[in-house]
Chains A and B, each alone.
Chain A
Amino acid sequence: MIQIPTIDWGVLMPTIIVFVTGIIGLLVEMFRPKQNNNLIVGLSLAGLTAAFVLLLGQLGAEPTTTIANMVFRDQLAVLLQLVMLGATALCFLFSEGYLRQRRIAFGEFYPLALWSLGGAMIMVGTQNLLMLFVGLEVLSIALYCLSGMARGDQRSEESALKYFLLGAFASAFLLYGIAFIYGASGTLDLEGFKIALYATDSTFVMAVFAIALMLVGLGFKAALVPFHQWTPDVYQGAPTNVTAFMSIISKVAAMGALIRVLTAADALQNFWFPALTGIAIATMTVGNLVALVQKDVKRALGYSSVAHAGYLLVGILAHLKMPVEIPLASVIFYFVTYTAMTIGAFAMISITAKDGKEGTRTQDLNGMWRKAPYAAGVLFICLVSLIGVPPTGGFFGKLAIFNDALAAGLPVLAITLAINSVISTFYYWQIAKAAFVDDEPALQTDFAHLNPGLKLTGAICVIGVLGIAFMASPLINSGSTAGRDTMSVIQLEPDVQDTPAIAVPIPTEVNQEVR
């Protein structure tokens, strides 16, 4: 008789809410009044809020797994899911106005984005590679559709096709890597993989190969150099709200999965650590240098997001090098500030869309200062934060990462990050300058009216960017256990390599039944 695994509904509920809200949204879409998505937006925000509140309650809870180890909930998962929920809500707030201005007010945006978010939540909340892959596909397929949402706009179509073809290719790499892991360890569970890695070294070559392949797949999603080629085209072509959405969700999910995979593979650190160090340096440097010559704001911000992926990778590498001493608090902190400043910037740029037309060249922002001072102000603060000037959140995020990098003994990465911060000043300045220029004729005759949703997004982002320095402590404290509890599930020391894998207790259903 097949035993039905116990299910901890509390752990699953936030993800379920997100998916179900998407389904309800799609149903509402069929019966809504023409071109009026307000009900869907309201519903989606309500769903996101409910999931957010439920997740907040799970902060600090013990790590647990459910449905036969398929879903894993720890502090890292909860925090990353919270970040993604918040980011999605911020995107939804300004999406409706933007979509109407672009004349693409399709109600499908919200369900698709919610499912994409759901996929991402699955991805960071699992230790099982198959679940990870399913999550990644749900995330990606919805994003492919979303980036092509501006039907008739060639760039949008190009971006969808490019993203889809390259993305499918990257997924294949990931899947191939997963297959190798299964071949090497006989399990799809990352903990089992970890035990197998410590238990024997016969699987060694296969495991190295597996990690390399998975790095390609996840590196693609996180936009790490050299797997970043899609980023500028897709960021430029996709509707701005979709760009904002995917710049956060895709990155957080992929980075979260990367942390899990690499934590499991820490026995192979000698192999992947130098590779990732090189990737981090390349990601920061290439992202910033290429951004310097961009003439399009969204493209420049696309490269900037590549560079920020590199900064994040520095923090992650510091954690992976000393997982116990250096928690993931800095990385979480950076994600939160990155969310606020990136969405703030994209949201403000979205006002260049008016009456079906949109111009995102740098000069298209000219005159923004006069015609839309609120938007120009928010954009400016977000850009200052992206540069990393105190007292904005971007500075404290970088400070945290510097801190970790130096503590982990990675001065080269810290210095590269410092140099890159300086390089990045130039192109952020160009964008800010464009918005504040007033002696050149403005190309954009008028900007879209700032609807309340956009204003609210801007206000939240500015409060986040400027206020995070004063609200940092709770965030750091809750982040200080992230990444540690993953380790606590299995206490493995290198000197217990001879211990048979079976001897290691895996607290799963047993614990559940005891409760």
Chain B
Amino acid sequence: MGTITTTILIPIVGMILLFLVPERYPKAIKWLTIVFTSSAFLASLGVLALFSSNQFNFQMVEAAPWIPAWGIKYKVGIDGISIWLFLMTTLLTLLAAIFSFYIDKRPRIYFAMMLLLEAAMLGVFVSLDLILFYTFFEATLIPMAIMIYVWGGSNRNYAAIKFFIYTFAASIFMLLGMITLAKQHEALTGVMTFDITAIQALVASGEFWQNTGNLQTLIFWAFTVALLVKCPMFPFHTWLPDAHTEAPTAGSVILAGVLLKMGTYGLLRFSLPLFPEATQAAVLPIMTLAVIGIIYGAVVAAVQPDVKKLVAYSSVAHMGFVVFGVFSLNQAGMMGGAYQQLNHGISTGALFLLIGLIYERTHTRAFKDYGGLKAQMPIFSALFLIVMLSSVGLPGMNGFIGEFLALYGGFMTAANGQYGLTLAYPVIAGIGVILAAAYLLHMFRQVFYGPLNPKLARLKDLKPWEIGLVGVFIVFIFWGGIYPNTFLKPMEKSINATRMMAINPAGQRPAWNNPNHEIDAQGNLVNINARTTTGDIDTSAGFEVVAAADYYAQGDSATSIQPKR
């Protein structure tokens, strides 16, 4: 059992143990959760320690048969796109669990759901099998819906079912698309498999979509709509404000920090590499939606009377930047999009946490109940200001790097006249940054300046552990803004490979399961014509290629990568 599987299993074991603790010991339940979420975090640090930035391919791959008759297996691995998301999941869950010491209502199920959610989210980011991915992707629905429904606000039933049905409805068509992919692989090779590396290998050589008509476009949209709903992207975003407003604080942190990223991660992992031609054709409509989402999210956020709703709509705008960057199909833009995923998780997660801290004290989130908080809670105000400015995208903080790179990528693509983009796209998206500053500063003024609302006169400032909690976020805000290379470097090759998988002509695309394919220091693809030879052991890549005959015996495709022992 490898490191990745261990990391996924830790929360599951924790969840099972939680049910053995009687509900009348809430302290024990809470501490047990902390123990398991921190162990998961440590395990994910172990994954980071073993991770190498020198290759684009999946690392620490583990594979085991699951349902061989249907070509489904348990296969996990991690690459530059998923490594930070994997770490962010364990970190944010740990912080959310610490915050949840405030929870008194049925703590056992609450923390069990949180651990289940963590395991499912971790699984999403490392699955290399479509059905395994789908299983984890959908498995996040139930715990999140329960968290919203049981511990949510007044309109929680509506919010929970809306959240559930939106995602479920969109992703079931993605499932049909996945089955079609496996069937197509079967039609070409005689082997039914949901392994994305096997499917992508055929896509890279161009065989996969040969003579399939508009099937590629159809399945691309089945995947992409499901993932855009999760992002969420205008016009599929309407579940998000409801879910965020009703969810408990920890739920909001996880929802904003990690769950939304499953959508954009899926775009990078599936939409781009598996449907290259369809991706290029879809750049214009998706960029249009992204730009609309950026402006729309900002404008709607500006008129919200509720702090949490404002941040929720700002998420729509921020995730618009992520999609904007990814679909610029430009190295800088895609790096920016991928990086912005992390920034959004940190900044918005921190904002929700701060709102939760104040909500625990005042039990209101409406602007009209606040005012003049700066004098009353100076530390809270300072922390809030830092986090908010990171969300605005102030230079020196992480948000700036991501948004700048995404806009730059979009600008370059438009300047080159690729995919029918015009300069209007980056320009309008840029206005979104200004709008973000406008509505966030407006919020800050309403909450923290002006005359002190008399009802707030007895508020106490943050306790040390609360400061520490927010402090973790702030460390990452400055780290990511001042020295982003720590985070950008490991992503670089994987992003570059994904970009080439999407834009290169057939036969010139890198393939995940060909260990000879590498990207050199200049970002060029080398050894593209090297064929995988059976039984060949490629020591430099850290993988060995299993002989085709062995793999056929396992009901798999011609070649596949196994972790080297």
Interface residues of A (CB under 8 A from B): 329, 384, 387, 389-391, 395-396, 399-400, 402-403, 406-407, 414-415, 418, 421-422, 425-426, 429, 433, 436, 469-470, 472-473, 476-477, 480
Given A418-B176, A433-B157, answer yes or no on A389-B142 (Cβ-Cβ < 8 Å).
Answer: yes
A-B contact pairs, 5 of them (CB 8 A): A391-B139, A399-B131, A415-B176, A422-B169, A473-B69
The answer to whether B164 touches A390 (Cβ under 8 A) is: no
- Mask: chain B, 119-161; 1 = CB below 8 Å from A; 0 = not: 0000000000001001110110110000001100000010001
Contact A477–B69 (Cβ < 8 Å): yes
A389 and B141 in contact (CB under 8 A), knowing A422-B168, A422-B169, A436-B150?
Answer: yes
Q: A390-B134, A402-B175 are in contact. Are A329 and B183 (CB under 8 A)?
A: no
Do the beta carbons of A395 and B138 come within 8 Å of each other?
A: yes
* Contact indicator A421/B172 (Cβ below 8 Å): yes
**Residue of B at shortest CB range from A429?**
B161
Most A Cβ at <10 Å: residue of B68, B131, B165, B175? B175
Residues of B within 8 A of A472 (CB): 67, 69
For the complex, is B416 an interface residue (Cβ under 8 Å from A)?
Answer: no
Q: How near does chain A come to B186, taking the closest CB pair, in angstroms?
A: 8
| Beyond A395-B135, A473-B67, 20 additional pairs, beta carbon < 8 A | A329-B69, A384-B142, A389-B138, A389-B139, A389-B168, A390-B136, A399-B70, A399-B179, A403-B70, A403-B179, A406-B176, A422-B168, A422-B172, A425-B161, A425-B169, A436-B149, A470-B66, A472-B67, A476-B70, A477-B69
- Ranked nearest first, the 4 interchain pairs of A and B with the lowest CB-CB distance are A390-B135, A476-B69, A422-B169, A418-B172
Residue contact A433 to B180, C-beta cutoff 8 Å: no
**List of A residues within 8 angstroms of B139 by Cβ:** 389-391
CB-CB contacts below 8 Å: B180-222 with A: 180, 183
A403: chain B residues at CB < 8 Å are 70, 179
Pairwise interchain contact A399-B175, C-beta atoms closer than 8 A: yes
* Shortest distance from the beta carbon of B25 to any chain A beta carbon, whole Å: 16
Tell me what chain B mostly uses at the interface: helix, strand, loop, or mixed.
helix
In the bound assembly, the distance between CA atoms of A403 and B131 in angstroms comes to: 12
Residues of B within 8 Å of A329, CB to CB, are 69
Cβ-defined contact, B149 with A406, below 8 A: no
Residues of A close to B150: CB separation below 8 A: 436
Chain B residues with CB below 8 A from A421, complex form: 168, 172
Asked if residues B175 and A406 are in contact (CB atoms below 8 Å), the reply is no
Which residues of the partner chain B approach A476 to less than 8 Å between Cβ atoms? 67, 69-70
Which residues of the partner chain A approach B165 to less than 8 Å between Cβ atoms? Answer: 422, 425-426
Contacts of A418 in B (CB 8 A): 172-173, 175-176
Tell me the bound Cα distance from A433 to B161 in angstroms.
Answer: 10
Within 8 Å CB of A433, what residues of B? 149, 157
Closest to A411 in B: B176
Residues of A within 8 A of B157 (CB): 433
- The interface residues of chain B lying within 8 Å CB-to-CB of A387 are 168
A406: B residues at CB distance < 8 A: 176, 179-180, 183
**Which chain B residue lies CB-closest to A415?**
B176
Whole-angstrom distance between the Cβ of B199 and the nearest chain A Cβ: 15
In the bound complex, do residue B67 and residue A402 qualify as a contact, i.e. CB atoms below 8 Å apart? no
B residues within 8 A CB of A384? 142
CB atoms of B138 and A390 under 8 A apart: yes
CA distance A429 to B161 in the complex (A): 8
Complex Cα–Cα for A418 and B168 (A)? 10
The count of residues in chain B whose C-beta lies closer than 8 Å to any C-beta of chain A is: 28
B135: chain A residues within 8 A (beta carbon): 390-391, 395
Nearest CB of chain B from residue A427's CB, rounded to whole Å: 11
Q: Which residues of B contact A407 (CB under 8 A)?
A: 183
Residues of B close to A391: CB separation below 8 A: 135, 139
How far in angstroms is the closest Cβ of chain A from B202? 18
Min CB gap A429→B, angstroms: 5
**A402→B142 contact, CB < 8 A:** no
**B68–A473 touching, CB < 8 Å:** yes
CA distance A436 to B157 in the complex (A): 11
Q: Quote the shortest CB–CB distance from B20 to chain A (angstroms).
A: 15
Known contacts A389-B138, A389-B139, A472-B67; is A402 also within 8 Å of B179 by CB? yes
Per the bound structure, the CA–CA distance linking A187 and B298 in Å amounts to 76
Given the complex, which residues of B lie within 8 Å of A436, measured CB to CB? 149-150
> Which residues of the partner chain A approach B142 to less than 8 Å between Cβ atoms?
384, 389
Chain B hits for A469, CB < 8 A: 66-67
When the two chains form their complex, are residues B70 and A400 in contact, meaning their CB atoms are under 8 A apart? yes
B138 contact set on A, CB distance < 8 A:
389-390, 395
A473 CA to B66 CA in the complex, in Å? Answer: 8
Chain A residues near B70 (CB-CB < 8 A): 399-400, 403, 476
- Nearest CB of A to B440, in Å: 35
- A444→B378 CA distance, assembly (Å): 51
- In the complex, per-residue mask of B60-74: 1 if CB is within 8 Å of any chain A CB, else 0: 000000111110000
A217 vs B168: C-alpha distance in the bound complex, in angstroms?
A: 36
Q: Which residues on the A side are within 8 Å of B67 (C-beta)? A: 396, 469, 472-473, 476
Residue of A nearest to B135 (CB): A390
- In chain B between 65 and 120, which residues have their CB closer than 8 angstroms to a CB of chain A? 66-70
- CB nearest to A437 among chain B residues: B157
Chain B residues, Cβ within 8 Å of A429: 161, 164
Contacts A389-B142, A425-B164, A425-B168 given: A402-B69 contact, CB under 8 Å?
Answer: no
CA distance in complex: A402, B177 (Å): 10
What residues of A have a CB within 8 angstroms of the CB of B173 in the complex? 415, 418
Smallest Cβ-Cβ distance to B136: which chain A residue: A390
1/0 contact trace for B312-333 toward A, CB 8 Å?
0000000000000000000000
Nearest chain A CB to B249 CB, angstrom units = 20
Complex Cα–Cα for A208 and B464 (A): 81
Closest residue on chain B to residue A425 by CB atoms: B165
Give bound CA distance, A387 to B165, whole Å: 11
A402 with B149: CB separation less than 8 A: no
On whether A426 and B161 interact (CB within 8 A), knowing A418-B173, A421-B172, the answer reads yes
Chain A contacts for B161, CB-based, 8 A: 425-426, 429
Measured between alpha carbons, how far is A476 from B67 in the docked complex, in Å? Answer: 9
CB distance from A127 to the nearest CB of B (A): 28
Cα of A426 to Cα of B165 in the assembled complex, Å: 8
Which B residues touch A414, using CB under 8 A?
A: 176
**Central interface residue in A329, A400, A429, A470, by most chain B CB within 10 Å:** A429
How long is the Cα–Cα vector from A421 to B172 in the complex, in angstroms? 8
Q: Closest CB-CB distance, B187 to chain A, in whole Å?
A: 10
Could you tell me the distance in whole angstroms from the C-beta of A233 to the nearest C-beta in chain B?
28
CB of A51, distance to nearest CB on chain B (Å): 27
How far in angstroms is the closest Cβ of chain A from B71?
A: 9
Bound: A361/B175 CA distance, A: 34
- Cα distance, A40 to B113, chains bound together (Å): 42
Chain A residue with the shortest CB-CB distance to B141? A389
* In the bound complex, CA of A422 to CA of B164 (Å): 10
CB distance from B416 to the nearest CB of A (A): 39
- Write the nearest CB–CB distance from A434 to chain B, whole angstroms: 11
Do B180 and A480 touch (CB < 8 A)?
no
Contacts of A473 in B (CB 8 A): 67-69
Smallest beta-carbon distance A389→chain B, Å: 5
CA gap between A472 and B175 in the complex, in Å: 19
Q: How far is the CB of B537 from chain A (nearest CB, A)?
A: 31
CA distance A384 to B134 in the complex (A): 16
Q: Which residues of A contact B164 (CB under 8 A)?
A: 425, 429
CA distance A329 to B168 in the complex (A): 26
Min C-beta distance of A410 to chain B, whole Å: 12
Q: Please, how many angstroms separate the alpha-carbon atoms of A390 and B139 in the complex?
A: 6
